[in-house]
Structure formats: structure tokens, C-alpha cells
A and B are shown apart, each in its own frame.
Chain A
Amino acid sequence: MLEIKNIHAKIEDKGILKGINLEIKAGEIHAIMGPNGSGKSTLASVITGKEEYEVTDGKILFENEDLEEVSPEERAHKGIFMSFQYPIEIPGITTTNFIKTAINETRKARGENDMPAKDMLKMLREKCDLLDIDQKFLSRSINDGFSGGEKKRNEIFQMAMLEPKLAILDETDSGLDIDALKIVANGVNKLKSQDNAVLVITHYQRLLDYIVPDYVHVLFDGKIVKSGTKDLAHELEKKGYDWIKEEVNK
């Protein structure tokens, strides 16, 4: 589904990604771990097409299509979703209206008609239940005045509504208490199928107890320096990142 080939990226002349290779197939869950500043969020931004980051080498293929010339919204239309580390507040736009617009813009791009209001309402109700969200929250301005946990839950709620092929969860666990973490993870697990994939970006392995990855990759200084199964995450939890650094610098 997603193939990242030798990707190099920089922001304002500062090289951050220095040759990343990664392949994610449908039905898989991958986790990217790494210390602060290793390039985890940059990788997410590059996959979603954020403009500030300049890709200087390598390429990203999504369902065998090169994404180089594809705008962020078109990537979204193709089924790439990111749960933001810091969800943005947009005052004056209700969560319902925002999601409705997002869904219908995506449908439009695929040459489909707007989703009938009845279906939309049904879906909103279902997904609210799935993520244990009070429907009142749908009428609030998007992320405006939300607590950290509410924002993260709202991200997963949007993911549930948009039904992406590839979901990137960027530090979704930060700011969540253990109960909220379980709800969010439970939601992600229920949405998971053989046809979609998840890329979890996290600093701690805590989230991976609930969203169990098939593969874990360690990112260090812009490169994937180690890959393994979920056992690698446990090892990192125990030993910290220092041993990785040492290994790399050997």
C-alpha cells in the first residue's frame, strides 16, 4: 500500500530525514518509535504532503502511485489520514460541519454525490458510540476549547468517519489518560481490517500494548536503524534509547 524509498527531506536547509525505507502492506500495523528530534513527525508530514518540508531525494508510492506531485488534499482523497499530534483549533466551525465537508469533498473528488444527510446522521451516531463520545460534542467548534484528551478522541472520531486506507497516528497517546487511551485504541482496533493499514508514531510503548503492531521500527537521526516485532518495543521501554544510539555510533 505504502512504499517509502530512500526518502530524504529537509526543512529550511536542515536535513531531517536521511534515507528512509519502509513498506506497509494492507492489513498491517507498523509502529515508528524513536527519541525526540529523530524525525518521526517529519516523516508523517512528508507522507501527508505538508509543504514546508522539501523532499530532496527518494520517493513515496501510495498504491503504486508516486505522490510527489499530489497535493495534501488529494492524498487525503486517496485515503491517507493523519491523526495530528497537536490538533488545530478552528473556531466557528462545528465538528459536524467540518466532517461533513471533509466527507463530501472526498466523495466529490471520487466523482460521487454528497452523502445523504440521513446516512451521515446514522454514521455520526454509530461512530460516537464506538468512541464513547457524547453527541453534544458534535455541535462544538472543532477542537476549540477541547481538552487534550478530547482533541485526540476527536481525531480518531474523524478517522472513523473518513474510513481511510492508511491512518497515521502521530503521538496519539500523548495527553491521554489510561481510560481514554483504551477507548481510542479500542476504536482503532475495531476500524482495522485486512484492507487498511495503520502507522503508529509514538515515543512510548504504552500505546502499543493496546494497538499491537506487526512491525516496530526505530528511527534515529533521520534513519530507520532497527526493525523488529513488538518485542523490540518492550526492549526499548526497558533499556531506553541510549543503547540504540550506542549501537548506531559503533
Chain B
Amino acid sequence: MSKYTEDDLKKELETKEYEYGFYTDIESDTLPVGLNEDIIVAISKKKEEPEWMTEWRLDAFKKWKEMEEPEWANVEYEKPDLQKISYYSAPSNKPKYNSLDEVDPELLETFKKLGISVDEQKKLAGVAVDVVIDSVSVATSFKDTLSEKGIIFCSMNEAIKKHPELVKKYLGTVIPKTDNYYAALNSAVFSDGSFCYIPKGVKCPMELSTYFRINEAGTGQFERTLVVADKGSYVSYLEGCSAPSRDENQLHAAVVELIALDDAEIKYSTVQNWYPGDNEGKGGVFNFVTKRGICENNAKISWTQVETGSAVTWKYPSCVLKGKNSVGEFYSIAVTNNFQQADTGTKMIHIGENTKSTIISKGISAGKSQNSYRGLVRVGPRAKNSRNFSQCDSLLIGNECGAHTFPYIETKNKSAKIEHEATTSKIGEDQIFYCNQRGIDTEKAIALIVNGFSKEVLNKLPMEFAVEAQKLLEISLEGSVG
């Protein structure tokens, strides 16, 4: 044991002070800007978390302080000043609704503007919506149906209190606190998020979905999602994000962990439409997200994403194929326009025997944007007969954008089969004119061509999401050809 120094004593004293609730300001609904241990304790307090959770956060914070912001991604941006962000904000009153009808009409209006009307959602029978507004859940529906099957679908905050044994057992097991700079930050300050547990052998009867948005200026969003599919269970989870326009850069550093136990299957679909900044490259969300799932024996995890928003995206939904015969899939459409930058892809880590992974990535760049695919396929020494197929296609619109592909392949087992295919194409003026001559205007022509290009991935989305995603693609590329 090392020497007990004066510093240690000081630290201990500081820690003691927390216990007495020495820290003021926790009455206010938005915490002061800045990041330090006090703030973290205050977040934890506000959420009425048990002590183990507070400790967990503080531990993450300690580790984060020693980490550095990564710079290897193919993106350029001014690093956000993390001391200028408020790490917690809640709507002024936060009642829980049993039905979506009770939700604030203004909020419903916002959803309508975003093209995601809640009315429509309700009609789409079988979709339970858990709305996370600025970090606090304000609406949950279909809860009863789910609970009959023993399915837990609630906010992370609620799960920490009501299902501490599950949260303790799984939180941070796929993405450790020290995994990367932003995951560590998220672990320390995560505000809320969703928790989902599907019991053994249960097939979740509906698509579970969560809509996020950033509401208050200057508020970082640090969502934390944990999905646990117990043995032989199945769940399809939809995550849709969209943020209203604003000038200020906003940081979004979410963490999503998926756990598929033996014979379980998780489908995780995302439509991401955070504010991309204006057409001069001003403003927009920084989307630095860590998403990873682990598959036990015969389990399957499938990530499908449609990324159209954010000024800067840094995101690699990955699969750790630990169990034998497990399957990982990644289907992605990433669209960048104007000055957007995206560095996105996946990691498929083959550990178990006979593991299989598929990667289909479609990058679409327009305007002056830069779009990079970055993917790792790693086959470990024990992963006998594992297989991977990767396909990366890039579509360019105009002459000023860029498409890049960074595939990494590492294999330590000779029986592995890895295939990688890549194509780059450009929407040509001749194609546009051909469409024009048939009565199809340029915007529609681009939408048609882009949809054709993205079809393989769009087809992987649940029906109602696919329609929305298609619309989103059209909107995102509006005005991309002069």
C-alpha cells in the first residue's frame, strides 16, 4: 500500500463533503455550466440515484480526466469546450403520462414539424414510444402490454432505482468506462436514456422506440441506453433522433450497449437527424457516439442506421461476436451535405467459432461535405471458420465533396474468410437529364437515384421507419445540385 499523502487526505475530505449535500444550486432545473466532481454528484443527486451509481460516475470521471480527445478520425472541427456545457437540464415540470394524449401540445407540434407526428405514432399499432426530452422521460406508453410479458422498458433513471441488480450486472460491460474519451465522459455525466430487458424466451411483441431531441440551448445530451436480451429472446429497437435548428454547436455523446445472451436476437435501428448546421457550415450537432453489442452463443445483433444529420459524426456501432455461431450485421446509410463531416462505420470482432458478420455501408456525399467509412474486421485466434462480407459503396453528388474508405482487416486465424467490396460512383448530369426528359425534376431524380443506391439498407429497416428514412434522405439532399 502506498503512502497516505496530504493529497489523499484532502481528497477524502472532499469526498466527505459530498455526503453532506454541501453543493448548492441543485434546486435549479439546469445545472451551472462546467464539469467537475461537484457537478457529477449533483447530477446523481438530482436523479436520486443510489450511492453505487454516484461512485460509478465519479470513477468514470476520474478516468476521463486522464484521457485525451481522439484525433484520428477524418474530421476537422473546433473541439467543444466541455467546461461551457451544462450537464443537466430538465423540463420545468415533469409529470409522467399514461397516454400520449396528455403530452404538452407544444411538444406535439414540434414533433409534427420534425415530420414525426405522435398521432401517427399512435396509429402505428404496436409501437411503444418512450420520449426523452432534454434528458427526462416525459411519456411512456404501451407499458402494460410489455409488463405482461415481463419486459422492462423504462428510463435508465428508473431502471437504476427499480432494477439495480440488472443495471449493476450489465452497465459498462460492453463499453467499459475507459473505452474512449466520450464514452468515459458519458459514463460520468449521462443524464438519462432507455433501459430494456427482455426475459428468457420472450419475443417482444412490438417495436420499441425512443425519440430523442435536443431542446435547450447549450445543453449537452448524454444519453445512455442499455438493452439486454436474455436467452432465446428477441427485440427490435428503434431510435430516431431529430433536433430543431439552432446556431450553437451542441455536443451529443451517447452510449448504447446491447447484450444478446445465448440464442437471443437484437435488431437496433437508428434514424439520426440532428441539426447539421446551416449551408455555410455554421452550427450543428457534434455527434460522438459509442455503440456496441456483445453476442453470446448463437446470438445475433443487427445494427441498421440512417445518418443524415449532425455537423460532425463519429460513430461505429460494433459487434463483439464472443459466442460461437453468433452473427453481427451492420447496415448503414450515411448522408452528408453542405459542410457536414461523417466518419462512421463499424467494428466486427470475431472471437467465437463459426461467427459471421455482414457489413453493408452506403455513403452519400453532396455539397462540400466529407464522408468516411471506417471499419474494422478482426478475427481472433479462436474464431475458427469465421466469415465476413463487407461492401462499401460511395455515391458522390457534385464536384466538391469527398468520399473516403478506411477498411481495417486483422486476422489471426487461417480458416477465416473475409471479403471486401467497394464501389464509388457519381450522379452524372446525363442521369439527371435522362430523368428530366421523362418528366422527373432534378430533386426528385436525385431522390430516386439515392433511394436506389440505398435500397439494400432501407429494406432492412422496419416498415414505418423505412418510409420516414426515405423522406429524410430527400430532405437532406435538397438543393444539393445547383
A residues with a Cβ closer than 8 A to B are: 48-51, 71-73, 75-77, 81-82, 84, 87-88, 90-93, 97-98, 101-102, 105-106, 109, 141, 158, 162
Contacts and interface: CB of A to CB of B under 8 A. Distances in A.
A50 B435 CA distance: 12
Given A93-B448, A101-B448, A141-B452, A88 B438 contact: no
Contact of B449 (A71, A76, A90): A90
B23 interface: no
Contact of B437 (A82, A92, A97): A82
A73 B452 contact: no
Contacts of B448: 90, 93, 97-98, 101
A81 B452 CA distance: 24
Interface in B422-475: 425, 428, 430-431, 433-442, 444, 448-449, 451-455
A109 B430 CA distance: 23
Q: Which of A92, A97, A98, A102 has the most CB of B within 10 A?
A: A92
B431 A90 contact: yes
Given A72-B433, A88-B430, A92-B455, A98 B438 contact: yes
Contacts of B438: 76, 81, 98, 102, 105, 158, 162
A72 B451 CA distance: 22
Q: Which of A76, A97, A106 has the most CB of B within 10 A?
A: A76
**Is the contact region of chain B dominated by helix, strand, or loop, or is it mixed?**
helix
Given A90-B431, A90-B434, A102 B439 contact: yes
Contacts of A162: 438-439
B477 to A, nearest CB: 15
Contacts of A105: 438-441, 444
Contacts of A87: 434
Contacts of B435: 73, 90, 102
Given A92-B455, A93-B449, A98-B448, A84 B434 contact: yes
A49 B439 CA distance: 12
Contacts of A88: 428, 430-431, 433-434
Contact of B453 (A48, A50, A91, A98): A91
Interface string B217-245: 00000000000000000000000000000
A73 B451 contact: no
B236 to A, nearest CB: 26
Nearest to B428: A88
Contacts of A97: 448, 452
A81 B449 CA distance: 21
Nearest to A89: B431
A90 B425 CA distance: 11
A88 to B, nearest CB: 4
29 contacts: A48-B437, A71-B436, A71-B441, A73-B436, A73-B439, A73-B440, A73-B441, A73-B442, A75-B437, A84-B437, A88-B428, A88-B434, A90-B434, A90-B435, A91-B453, A92-B449, A92-B455, A93-B449, A93-B451, A93-B452, A97-B448, A101-B444, A102-B435, A102-B438, A105-B440, A105-B441, A105-B444, A109-B439, A162-B438
A195 to B, nearest CB: 19
Size class of B's contact patch?
20 to 34
A71 B445 CA distance: 14
Nearest to A143: B434
Given A73-B436, A76-B438, 16 more contacts: A51-B433, A72-B433, A72-B437, A73-B437, A73-B439, A77-B439, A81-B438, A84-B434, A84-B437, A88-B430, A90-B448, A92-B451, A92-B454, A101-B448, A105-B441, A141-B452
B99 to A, nearest CB: 35
Nearest to A78: B439
B442 to A, nearest CB: 8
A46 B121 CA distance: 49
Q: Which of A81, A82, A91 has the most CB of B within 10 A?
A: A91
B189 to A, nearest CB: 43
Contacts of B431: 88, 90
A48 B454 CA distance: 30
B330 to A, nearest CB: 20
Contacts of B428: 88
Contact of B433 (A50, A91, A92): A50
A77 B448 CA distance: 18
Nearest to A102: B438
B434 to A, nearest CB: 4
A200 to B, nearest CB: 17
Q: Which of B428, B430, B438 has the most CB of A within 10 A?
A: B438
A98 B431 CA distance: 12
A105 B439 CA distance: 6
A139 to B, nearest CB: 13
A105 B435 CA distance: 11
Nearest to B440: A105
Contacts of B439: 73, 76-77, 102, 105-106, 109, 162
A71 B436 CA distance: 8
Q: Which of B437, B444, B451 has the most CB of A within 10 A?
A: B437
Contacts of B434: 84, 87-88, 90
Q: Which of A48, A72, A97, A162 has the most CB of B within 10 A?
A: A72
A183 B428 CA distance: 31
A86 to B, nearest CB: 8
Interface in B319-352: none
Contacts of A72: 433, 436-437
Given A73-B441, A101-B444, A105-B444, A90 B436 contact: no
Give the 7 A-B CB pairs with smallest separation, nearest first.
Answer: A92-B452, A76-B439, A72-B436, A102-B438, A88-B434, A93-B452, A106-B439
Contacts of A76: 436-439
A105 B445 CA distance: 11
Nearest to A106: B439
A158 B434 CA distance: 12
Q: Which of B435, B439, B440, B449 has the most CB of A within 10 A?
A: B439
Contacts of B454: 92
Nearest to B449: A90
Nearest to A110: B439
B393 to A, nearest CB: 10
Q: Which of A49, A73, A141, A162 has the most CB of B within 10 A?
A: A73
Contacts of B425: 91
A73 B441 CA distance: 6
Contacts of B444: 101, 105
Given A98-B448, A101-B444, A101-B448, A81 B453 contact: no
